Structure 1
Amino acid sequence: MKCKVQLIGRLGAEPEITTLPNAAQVANLSIATEEYWKDKQGQAQRRTTWHRVKFWSEGTIGFIERNIAKGQLVEIEGTFRYEEYTDREGVKNKVPVINGTNIMPLSFNEGQAASGAAGEGSGAGNGEDIPF
């Protein structure tokens, strides 16, 4: 069985591409999603949730480097897991992380062209099928 995640949100920072000691690369993204509702008094409420997303595919990392930037609205697909780390005080912690498999820009920054999606199992499109 598998836990599949789909997010639509905005990048809160520029993608961070890191090269690991084994020469593999990882792209780290910080994605904000928002929920809106009205409380019992009829007042509009909003909640922002931040998500850590990691991409490991070389092709997708290249796409992210060329096409994804802070503030962009993106759709992310991936799987959910927890990563463990030990803080400075020696306490072990777990944080939720999404291992991204696909990313599609839903908005474009100035100077960017609509170049489609990137990810395992999806190629780059020409943007003609975008309905807006």
Structure 2
Amino acid sequence: MAGGVNKVILIGNLGADPDMRYTPSGAGVCEMRIATNESWTDKQGQRQERTEWHRVVVWGKRAELCAKYLSKGRQCYVEGRLRTRSWEDKDGNKRYTTEIVATDVQFLGGGGRGGGGGGDFPPPPEPDGPYDNGGFGGGSPDDDIPF
């Protein structure tokens, strides 16, 4: 496969309110910290849990929507790609960070000041005509599943 794949999908909760800023050229950028939880049962039968923290960066109009409607504790879906960048700190040391550059953010569940439900954009319009299955199988997607 040429080029590879760089895709991240998360569903998690914000650990703090989003941080909205603007670049000198006026582009909006919103930074968020999102926690995901993983749980499992260890060899001794004890339930274990681990929280992973993710740095998420959102640009443009979507950044402004995130800053407006998301807040600490709010659950969201994030889709994007990993990016590692570097800079020099005030002592001249080279520093690195890896973050997720979001291409899609949807607001889920309750919590935070934004309330529950829905995403940040309206749903796509319903099709005008009958369901088109592209010639595969019969019926509509609402037919009963045989198992």
Aligned-residue CA RMSD in angstroms?
2.0
User: How many corresponding residue pairs?
Assistant: 120
Q: TM-score, structure 1 length as denominator?
A: 0.80
**Greater Rg by CA:** 2
Query: Percent identity, aligned pairs only?
Result: 36
Q: Give yes or no for the alignment of 1:43 onto 2:46.
A: yes
Matched, 1:103 2:105: yes
Aligned equivalent of 1:11: 14
CA deviations on 1:37-58 (whole Å, 9 max, x unpaired) are 1111111111111110000122
| 4+ residue runs over 6 A deviation | none
Displacement of 1:113 = 5.6
Q: Which amino acid aligns with 1:106?
A: L
- Aligned in 2, Cα 1:75/1:111: closer, same or farther, shift over 3 Å? closer
Q: More strand per residue: 1 or 2?
A: 1
C-alpha offsets along residues 71-94 of structure 1, whole Å, 9 cap, x if unaligned? 011110001110212234322122
Instruction: Call closer, same or farther: CA 1:12–1:111 in 2, change over 3 Å.
Output: closer
Q: CA separation in 1, counterparts of 2:46 and 2:89?
A: 39
Contact 1:102 1:117 survives alignment (8 Å)? no
**TM-score (norm. length: structure 2):** 0.73
Equivalent residue letter for 1:14 = D
Residue segments in structure 2 that go unaligned for 5+ positions in a row: 125-147
Residue 30 of structure 1 pairs with residue 28 of structure 2: no
